[in-house]
A and B are shown apart, each in its own frame.
Chain A
Amino acid sequence: KNEVEQSPQNLTAQEGEFITINCSYSVGISALHWLQQHPGGGIVSLFMLSSGKKKHGRLIATINIQEKHSSLHITASHPRDSAVYICAVRGRGATNKLIFGTGTLLAVQP
């Protein structure tokens, strides 16, 4: 079992729908990252958060430290949001490295 689990693994939505992607983790963390990976490979950092909620445009990320859970929401989804969304946590250990989930493949259809 991975230390970082995402759900769903695959998600298909219609343009305009509200989308939620979930991330659960089993280790103590100092921060959680949401990343976006488009076809072709490049990864873009969307959010880094350690508590509460952050918003950027149509994207909202929340984290509940006690429940070890984070959600990424996309409002008014658009086909250009189609990508793999990856949750990663930074542990509290000495190396402080990122531990990644397997990603959620999102397809938004027009």
Chain B
Amino acid sequence: ETGVTQTPRHLVMGMTNKKSLKCEQHLGHNAMYWYKQSAKKPLELMFVYNFKEQTENNSVPSRFSPECPNSSHLFLHLHTLQPEDSALYLCASSQGDRNTEAFFGQGTRLTVV
């Protein structure tokens, strides 16, 4: 248990569906991240939030829409995804975004059919 909780753990969705991934941390961290992990590829940073403000969008398609209502919660809203978006989506948090350890959630295994 790392202190970062993601739900759901598994999600199967159709290309026309709208769904949301949720991440929650009660570690008092002020930075939260979404990462995508595809098979045989390194983790890819998608979004960074610091103090609820988005500080990085790593050229992510608009069919992925993040939301950070407060420093403890992070959402990733999904709509009209493609099969190639199937991957493990990992949330992480850290105290600031510089030279501190990142704590990862268990991930959401997403399959787009």
Could you tell me which A residues sit within 8 Å of B by CB distance?
2, 4, 30-31, 33, 35, 40-45, 48, 50, 86, 88, 90, 95-103
- Quote the shortest CB–CB distance from B50 to chain A (angstroms): 11
> Contact partner of A31 among B2, B42, B90, B99, CB < 8 A?
B99
CB–CB A98/B45 < 8 A: yes
25 A-B pairs with CB atoms under 8 Å apart are: A4-B42, A31-B99, A33-B102, A35-B104, A41-B88, A41-B109, A42-B106, A42-B107, A43-B104, A43-B107, A45-B103, A45-B104, A48-B99, A86-B42, A88-B43, A90-B99, A95-B48, A95-B55, A96-B99, A97-B45, A97-B56, A97-B97, A101-B42, A102-B40, A103-B42
- Quote the shortest CB–CB distance from B27 to chain A (angstroms): 12
Number of interface residues of B (CB under 8 A): 25
> Contact partner of B101 among A30, A48, A96, CB < 8 A?
A48
CB–CB A95/B104 < 8 A: no
Q: Which of B42, B100, B103 has the most CB of A within 10 A?
A: B42
List B contacts of A45 (CB < 8 A). Answer: 101-104
